[in-house]
Amino acid sequence: MDEERGWYGVRKLSVLVVDDEEGFCRCLGKEFGRKGYAVSAAHDGKAALEALAKAQADVMLLDVVLPRLSGTEVLKRVRRDHPRTQVIMLTGNATVETAIESMKQGAFDYLTKPVNLAELCLVVERAFEATRVRAENEALRWELGRRTRFDEFVGKHASVVEIRKMVSRVAETDSPVLICGETGTGKELVARMLHHESRRSKARFLAVNCAAFQENLLETELFGHEKGAFTDAGARKPGLVELADGGTLFLDEIGNMSPAVQAKVLRLLDAGEYRRVGGTDDLKSACRVVSATNQDLGKAIKDGRFREDLYYRLNVVMIKTPPLRERREDVPLLVEHFLDKVHALQTRGRKTMSRPALDLILGHPWPGNVRELENAVERAVILSEGSVIEPSALCLPCLEAGRSVGDALADVEKAHILAVLGRTGGNKSQAAAILKVDVKTVYNKLKEFGIA
């Protein structure tokens, strides 16, 4: 067993022997060399960590008693910084307590000196096998996760195909990405696809909705705080920027961020540096920033609500998620996908959508986009009594006999306009602003509905 294939390509398996007895290291080096392994040695704890930082080892043979840094301390750091390296502890004065403690800290096995060479070789081979199995499992999880993420973004419309292509192109870079689109169009899903396709996929993906926090709370959430930074700061707290180091930080609703927080995000993007709230030290983070908005940031810049320099740093690559009304041919595919998704979470049989119910769905404008459609399908599955979902279970304006999808759409439009007028107390100017039309259009629609 002298080569490993697949996850690492084809290369020699490597052993790092860490022991202050040079003769012992030479003896093991010859034995493992005959087996075709790449062998290196270190004679104290710090040298072991330095060697591992320069070249990853598959297996480390680690003596407990070492100069400069103890074997147990080396073990802790290896488990933290080099989790793929299997560590086999060696000692000349083993106790049950020491062995148990080493295994708790993540050692693969524990052997007592003088070592039985045949036994040691068997343990090393088992450690190599464990490394290979874990690597294969990681590769499999990555591939399954990749397929799952892409399958989640359902659709055959040209805009969806282009998003998938864009994600594949951009994922392997570290450039910031700005995702623009209406509420419910799948912006966070695209961000997760970018993360899962990238080399950062084994690190954290952390998301924060900037609109859900007040200014001071958002700053603390993102950058953390020091002990005593404010009244309730009883202990130091890491922020998402720190926790996402090496991974992806998703800033949703970036347009709702205050100018003060915008300035700190700009510094993070420019220099990779930040400070905790109440702190004086400059800290580093290598997180990748992906942001999203449903606002017109160009208008926000003109209005003085958003920094132009931050906009250009965030917008190195822009991905636009289309509203559902622009890709109606994908609606039946999405309905089937959500029916499968609900069925996977329940023990009952899978339900189907009747033709009248599907016609009703096709006629609805879906202002809440894909998220609204998913909620409607889930609700319909719950409310429907039989195996076939009828229009009544959708809780949407129904298509009566002889009426077209266009007529149903007009009903929805009417209901939406009247609902907005209700929210504004009948103020047509305010309603027009919310609906993003001029006042004349509102008057014309009311006249068309026979209300004006």
The Cα–Cα gap between 297 and 353 comes to 40
Full-model pTM: 0.58
Contact yes or no for 360/408 (Cβ under 8 A): yes
Written as six digits, the tokens of 54 are: 């320069």
Establish how many alpha carbons lie within 13 A of residue 199's alpha carbon, considering only the half-sphere containing its beta carbon.
Answer: 6
Residues 342 and 386 in one domain: yes
Helices (H) and strands (E) in the chain, counts: 18, 16
Contact yes or no for 172/195 (Cβ under 8 A): no
Residues 193 and 261 in one domain: yes
Instruction: Please identify every stretch of the chain with a pLDDT value under 70, giving residue numbers as ranges.
Output: 1-11, 93-100, 135-151, 347, 397-416, 419-420, 422-423, 452
Residue 291: which CATH number? 3.40.50.300
- Would you state the pLDDT for residue 94? 55
Residues 200 and 318 in one domain: yes
42-82: pLDDT as tens digits: 999 899 988 887 777 889 999 888 888 888 888 888 888 78
Number of domains in the chain: 4
Indicate whether 84 belongs to any domain.
Answer: yes
Residues 184 and 309 in one domain: yes
Indicate whether 63 belongs to any domain.
Answer: yes
368-423: pLDDT as tens digits: 899 999 988 988 888 888 899 998 888 875 544 444 545 555 655 666 677 667 66
Indicate whether 143 belongs to any domain.
Answer: no
Indicate whether 23 belongs to any domain.
Answer: yes
Indicate whether 144 belongs to any domain.
Answer: no
Spell out the SS3 assignment of 390-430.
Answer: CHHHHCCCCCCCCCCHHHHHHHHHHHHHHHHHHHCCCCHHH
Sequence-separated (6 or more) residues with CB below 8 Å from residue 222: 208, 239, 240, 241, 261, 264, 265
Residues 132 and 201 in one domain: no
The Cα–Cα gap between 159 and 5 comes to 38
Please tell me the total number of residues recorded for the chain in this structure. 452
Boundary (domain end) residue, out of 136, 168, 197: 136
Indicate whether 67 belongs to any domain.
Answer: yes
In eight-state DSSP terms, residue 351 is: P
- Would you state the pLDDT for residue 1? 44
Residues 126 and 238 in one domain: no
Indicate whether 285 belongs to any domain.
Answer: yes
Residue 417: which CATH number? 1.10.10.60
Residues 34 and 171 in one domain: no
Q: Which domain covers residue 450, as residue numbers?
A: 407-452
Read out DSSP for 113-131? SSP-HHHHHHHHHHHHHHH
Taken in order 274, 276, 281, 283, the sign of the CA dihedral is negative
Written as six digits, the tokens of 37 are: 């392994």
378 to each of 355, 372, 388, 421, how far by Cα in Å? Answer: 17, 10, 13, 29
Closest CA to 419 of 433, 405, 435: 435
Residues 297 and 258 in one domain: yes
- Would you state the pLDDT for residue 292? 97
Residues 40 and 105 in one domain: yes
Read out DSSP for 285-323? --PEEEEEESS-HHHHHHTTSS-HHHHHHHTTEEEEEPP
Written as six digits, the tokens of 258 are: 């205050």
The Cα–Cα gap between 261 and 289 comes to 14
Indicate whether 141 belongs to any domain.
Answer: no
Residues 209 and 61 in one domain: no
Contact yes or no for 202/195 (Cβ under 8 A): no
The Cα–Cα gap between 414 and 446 comes to 8
